[in-house]
Structure 1
Amino acid sequence: MTRPAPTPSSALTPSSARTVHAGLPAVRPHVEELYRDLHRHPELGLREHRTAGRAAQALRSAGYEVTEGVGGTGVIGVLANGDGPVVMARADMDALPVLERTGLPYASTRTATDRDGTERPVMHACGHDVHVACLTGCARLLAGDRASWRGTFVALFQPSEENGDGADAMIADGLVTRAPRPDVVLAQHVLPYPAGYVGTRPGSFLSAADSLRITVHGRGAHGSMPHAAVDPVVTAAAIVLRLQTIVSREVAATTPAVLTVGSIHAGSGPNVIPDRAVLEVNVRTYDETTRSRVLEAVRRIVEAECRASRCPEAPVIEQIAAFPPTVNDEETTRRVADAFAAYFGDDAHTVDPQTASEDMNRIPAAFGAPYTYWAIGGTDPALHAEAVRRGTVGEDVPVNHSALFAPVLQPTLDTGVAALAVAALAWLGH
């Protein structure tokens, strides 16, 4: 199929393309150095003090007006360059409690105390180091050629995306009064596609995610006397099995939904029937109707199984995290897709929906602004091509949150910088 020619309002202008082409070599050393440094020094959510400091330093050195400490560790950089649109680009900063096994010379060996007070290994297993490095590169690129664009560029570095509370923290700390109101908000994520790949998608892109903690109450007893107990382990097992029927029997086969019981804890020994069991459940959906239906089914099944087991107390169902769906504005996404096609050519694609989740869209929602969120690839293209040839992509290509996840430096970083700049210049270029 031949892609229609970009309309004049959305095509990348020749001067904008020159800005990106000419600026990349100048910012590349900084972006690569920053990426290696951030990968070596990951920080957990709302503790990204060093990361935020490096982002703020990069912005100030490029002439941005910088505000730090928004929502704890969030950073806002503003570069006003005459009359014109306001474009905001966002990058997340936090790492994960994962022990790195990449073998890279700049691999993380750091540990940190998590919110429960437990010491954990920490790794940038989701690529947020890529996001931060690329946004600073884009910010420096635009600052270095102000003659090619007009308007205001806002670089926003957000904490604690993995916990789903970083965007809310910035909003609660006055984000909408501390940054110019954007006409559009842009964001990207590195995913296990071949490096050099860029992928857009209008409409539903990332799923909503709801995490629940379910406490089932029983009555403890000796393992030799189960008749004297109400066994919460048996009840929890019945709940796990019955929950699997929600997607297969209560959601239409054409409607995407995922339900995972990721954690179950009960008991302390083989001959003791405990008095409680705790399950943690994750639900991913793409629309509010399906989300409500699945969450209500979870509640109905848990309560019914507990009644059937004669549990002495009603179960407790707590929501421990909630991410809204990411639904890209169609007109905004078309404009970016056309600019990507003009700049990246055959490396610009339409990407499939993802079952990952994000809290980024709370930021444009707070401003009442449209947004688009796209993918860039980070896998060695040769490795990816060989895995495709062998039919072993699932086994051989490390995915986000894996201890082996390690985007190749190039062309990943150049692509990420260029994608942000190309998208921003689709509004700012002249």
Structure 2
Amino acid sequence: MLEIIVGLYTLYTFMKLYISFMQVGYINQEKRKDPVLMPAGKYLVAANYAVAKEKLGIIETFVDYLMFLWWVFAGFAWLSSLLQVDGDVMSSVFFLFGFVAVNYAVGLPFSLYQTFKIDEGFGFNKMTLKMFIVDALKSAGLFFVLGGAVFAVLAWIISSYETWWLWGFILMFTIAVAANLLMPFFMGLFNKFSPLEEGELKDAIVDLMNKAGLKSNGIFVMDASKRDSRLNAFFGGLGKSKRVVLYDTLLEKLNKKELLAVLGHELGHFSHGDIWKNIALMGLLLFIAFYLFGHLPESLFIQMHVSPYPGVQIAMLMLLLPLLSFVFTPFMSYVSRHNEYAADAYGSEMGGRENLVSALLKLITENKAFPKSHPLVIFFYHTHPPVLERLKELGYDASNVVIEEEKREEPSLPNDGIFTYMDKEEK
């Protein structure tokens, strides 16, 4: 059985790497062509940023594969030998803390490089190292308290019930739904939320929500700019009352009409019940995962030189969940892209088609989002349709628009032998 799982994980890793290499090659070709949607300088920067992230992802995927092999062939047995704790529940909690800690330590250099080299080099990151450490400590504290409680309950369920996979699914699905409601609270531990000032914008947002049949549960501005310069906004809550959160960066870059068009798009998701659809899809994935991994044969654990106690079973589920998610990703991405088109149509009706188009153009430019991707990347990963297709659906044909040239904004980043931002021809 172990050979089968390793074989499937190897195939999954190969496919991820193949898709990433195809994406890098595709963007490197497309960035040499005439720019679309943004001036040449920004077009090239967006391409280089996408390639830099993809190359880092390639290395991270390979390291994840090595870690998977280490865990199943030696890591689980090694970690189990370190723990001498009585009781399935407590030993499982400590085992899982160790499992997560090792994986976090291995992934930390990638997170640091992404934040302080790539994102900072391309003008996104505003976070200091001190802020990064403080955020990490807060996250660790939350995980220790909440994650430890979840691990303990799940371990108790596995120890107590033969059909633990069913009760475990119910527990995790309930927690996932509750997390949507509690997310503003958790985000408040990391960011400051200030009520939007009284005025035309606030009144217009309230009117927009009333038209959609929703009530405002508060309109807030989040100080996102202290960490990142990207633009975003979102609604919180699952009922008729919604908490509106606007990034301060979004308020700075979009005018009132553009902002209302973006919020109209988001309201379209609520109007069409997309939030509940996403929760249902997530529930289906969790159910299948718990069913499959809840029936792993005992011989598998024997091959890994560990006993099948709850901690190892939960860790195995966490280790294999990305593989199962990858299989479901194309379907979930397709559904999401379909929903985005419908939300765009709703947003254009609520806020004006030309305003939504203008907002999308600003968003991709400010977020340095390269407007093209390889078809495989779109098929597997894109939860939003390609921006060129979205704009075309809204009546904006980029092929008929002449983009004015401007000075290139090439970031000055070190060539460390791993990431090359411009090839020799462009240099």
TM (normalized to structure 2)?
A: 0.26
TM (normalized to structure 1)?
A: 0.26
Identify, as 1 or 2, the structure richer in helix.
2
